[in-house]
Structure 1
């Protein structure tokens, strides 16, 4: 069964509240529980993935550091950033076949690329480094979107993707973003796009839904594990 995920607007919400709610929803969901995309904006927070090295948090200042159960290293969430959590059952996404983790990540990344393209911005993947990076001009190679997921053994996912729209990027300089010392981060405004946060939230959600409605069949089905 492949159905359109519900969009849930959660507004401005502390990270811990979203994290607790994601796990509770996933714990409680059954065969008929709808897939959902949660759209949220967080007050400033650093989050650590499973196995993250706390040493990558260089100078947190007064920003909370929250351990999580997603994949990946340390990242920053803050005002002016689109955050969409994907609470989905991968077994539903393609009739007759399971949507594997690698394909799931590919579709999320492509939705971000498609969203950037709507504002005449170019983004690209980097092998072995999930997320999307700017391709042009002085910000070439800077990270504009981050990705971190949890995929349980039953195929249910949570956590998701963040896209920098118009934010104070300074807190990224107080960490090694995603575990990479000196990795530059950028937002859409700096890249030349003038867009409101709600507009980008809506567009990215629709691009995600479109990708899952037509997931490509020609991707390699890799190991079923959290990236």
Structure 2
């Protein structure tokens, strides 16, 4: 088995989403798994859980309804996005165990920089002192994953103030820049993506 890690640079959210859907719909048992690294222009995305959805308090950022799990979140420049396009059956993974694997990669990345972080079973993602630094939202189709994780690196966090991030009222966000000057999205993206790859290939 092998997994290809690809750096896409800055990409439009909607076209990347369409590419993920196309890749997933066309894949079969022989398709090689891929992990995409990117970042997006400013956009709010609303997942399939629309319960208690409130329109963002600002109208200068578009809202896109998407097919991942979860509620509303924000993406923008300075935020690392990783999309693992993985056949979960190939690695005998449940959705929950795959989420845990991704969270472990993020917590491990932060730990290597002496930043103490943790995941929460009841609220997927990664937190530093109850402030959220990473969010997860996946879609599984024919046991293959798409969508993925976002990690706040060095970005304008104020658009989060206009929403209840991931559906949690008064949830505060944080970012890597607060703790370190090591904020290269490309190098961090490869470090985390390769850790996810390493974990998968060693299951």
TM-score range, shorter chain: over 0.9
- For the residues of structure 2 that align with 1:174 and 1:78, how far apart are their CA atoms? 14
Corresponding position of 2:93: 99
Corresponding position of 1:198: 186
Using the TM superposition, give the Cα deviation of residue 10 of structure 1 relative to its aligned residue in structure 2, in angstroms.
Answer: 1.6
- For the residues of structure 1 that align with 2:2 and 2:155, how far apart are their CA atoms? 30
Deviations 1:147-189 (A, max 9, x none): 000012x211100011111111111111100001110000011
Does the 8 Å CA contact 2:7/2:186 hold for their aligned counterparts?
no
| Residues paired across the two proteins, number | 203
Q: Given the alignment, which residue of 109, 121, 132 partners 1:143? A: 132
Q: Which runs of 5+ in 2 are unaligned?
A: none
Distance 1:38 1:54, change over 3 A: farther
The structure that is strand-richer by fraction is 2
- TM-score when normalising by structure 2: 0.95
**Could you list the runs of 4 or more consecutive aligned residues of structure 1 that deviate by over 6 angstroms after TM superposition?**
none
Corresponding position of 1:78: 76
SS at match of 1:91: helix
SS at match of 2:96: helix
Moved more, 112-121 or 19-28: 112-121
- For the residues of structure 1 that align with 2:38 and 2:157, how far apart are their CA atoms? 18
Corresponding position of 2:169: 181
SS at match of 1:148: strand
Using the TM superposition, give the Cα deviation of residue 92 of structure 1 relative to its aligned residue in structure 2, in angstroms.
Answer: 1.1
SS at match of 1:55: coil
- RMSD of aligned alpha carbons: 1.4
SS at match of 1:121: coil
- For the residues of structure 1 that align with 2:72 and 2:6, how far apart are their CA atoms? 26
Q: Given the alignment, which residue of 107, 113, 116 partners 2:107? A: 113
SS at match of 2:125: strand
SS at match of 1:189: helix
Deviations 1:182-209 (A, max 9, x none): 1000001113453322221111111111
SS at match of 2:82: strand
Does the 8 Å CA contact 2:5/2:194 hold for their aligned counterparts?
no
- For the residues of structure 1 that align with 2:114 and 2:76, how far apart are their CA atoms? 24
Pairing of 1:31-180 with structure 2 (within 5 A):
31-53=29-51, 55-93=53-91, 98-134=92-128, 140-152=129-141, 154-180=142-168
- For the residues of structure 2 that align with 1:178 and 1:19, how far apart are their CA atoms? 19
